[in-house]
Amino acid sequence: MVRPSPRTLVVIQTDPTKSHRAVEALRIALGLGSHNEGQDISIILCDRAPHLLAQDTGDIVDAEILDKHLPVFIEWGTPFFIATDADTPHPYTTDIVTKPITPAELAAALESADRALIFS
């Protein structure tokens, strides 16, 4: 298992069907990673946050914003680390790169990050 070795770690725990904060977290991650095409940013999705990557985004708050930003992460090849105990949708959006991350690996990623943003 390859765990992220981020400089900036964005952890999203917010349910995107109930709050705009999940999409806003991705927008912020996009801005933070834009200077080098996402090479020093890692995104971890917990709880219901993996629904941000679902093919059907009809229930997502601010889905129109998500639809504009998600393709950039796909173009960059940014992997989305999905907590092993998260609620995951199926199927994911085409071409999304996902990798599982255990609670222990998440804790190690938080320790090794230069900075972490947690949206809950």
Beta bridge partners, 43, equal 10, 80
pTM: 0.90
Q: In the chain, what are the domains?
A: 8-119 (3.40.1260.10)
Identify which of 72, 63, 55, 79 has the alpha carbon closest to the alpha carbon of residue 16: 63
| 75, 110, 21, 18: CA torsion to nearest 10 | 100
Structure-block tokens of residue 26: 């991705």
Q: Output 35 or 109, whichever has higher pLDDT.
A: 109
Residues 96, 74: contact at Cβ < 8 Å? yes
pLDDT digits (tens, 9 = 90+) for 42-99: 999 999 999 999 999 889 999 999 999 999 999 999 999 999 999 998 888 889 999 9
